[in-house]
Amino acid sequence: MTAVAVRLVRLHAASRRLPAALVLLVACAAGLRGALYGHWDSYGALQLPLIFEAACAAIIAVTAGSPFGDPERATGWRLLYLRLGSAVTLTGLAVAALAAAGTGLPLAGGLPDILRNVAGLTGIGLLCATVLGGPLAWTGPLTYLVAGAYGLYTDWHPPALSTPWLWPARPPHDVGGALCAAVVFAGGLAAFTVRGARASAGG
């Protein structure tokens, strides 16, 4: 990698507040670790990781916003790789941080659950960034958080919600839920890579 490329990546990361996002992802992981020491009832223990997964996804989605708006779109094809790389890297780091936070503690669902939920929620956030703009990209993952938490609640209080599109309510190794989350993540990633976050006046 050339010095120019490194500088380009560094400037892109700075413009998207990626260092702050990394700090917050680590803070979320630490929060999950601390919360796992608490005593929660059955569905509380199931819902707990989802809250931190949604927080990570919202943070990743918010970094999608560009401070430069439309002029940046004319800078060339490398922007696509920068968007793709930043989103995939942050998602991977979020999964790794949350998985590490759960090591040695009773984390409901384990790594498969974290991977599926973070990917799916990030996909929703990236889609929201494309449609609403980076600053409002949190609306999708956090709205979905409420629905997902309710889906987990219905596992104890029937009738249970069984649609795979509400993947947090499905078991960790459920293929349907994983496929839906993967489709949403791929869709969000593709839309964000190609179009970028919508330029927002409210930014």
Binding site for other proteins (CB under 8 A): 17, 20-21, 24, 40-41, 44, 47-48, 51, 54-55, 58-59, 62-63, 65, 134-136, 138-139, 141-143, 145-147, 149-150, 157-159, 202-203
Bond preceding residue 159 cis, omega within 30 of 0? yes
Among 11, 149, 131, CA closest to 82: 11
Maximum Cα–Cα distance across the chain? 58
**Minimum separation from the CB atom of position 158 to other proteins (A):** 4
**Minimum separation from the CB atom of position 105 to other proteins (A):** 16
Contact by Cβ (8 Å): 93, 46:
no
Contact by Cβ (8 Å): 169, 160:
yes
Nearer to other proteins, 76 or 158 (CB): 158
Nearer to other proteins, 32 or 95 (CB): 32
Nearer to other proteins, 71 or 202 (CB): 202
> Quick one: tokens of 23?
């700090």
**Minimum separation from the CB atom of position 172 to other proteins (A):** 21
**Minimum separation from the CB atom of position 4 to other proteins (A):** 28
**Minimum separation from the CB atom of position 76 to other proteins (A):** 25
Contact by Cβ (8 Å): 186, 123:
yes
Among 63, 82, 62, CA closest to 72: 82
Nearer to other proteins, 153 or 182 (CB): 153
Contact by Cβ (8 Å): 125, 58:
yes
Nearer to other proteins, 161 or 182 (CB): 161
Contact by Cβ (8 Å): 82, 14:
no
Nearer to other proteins, 61 or 181 (CB): 61
**Minimum separation from the CB atom of position 201 to other proteins (A):** 9
> For residues 1 and 141, what is the distance between their CA atoms, to the nearest angstrom?
34
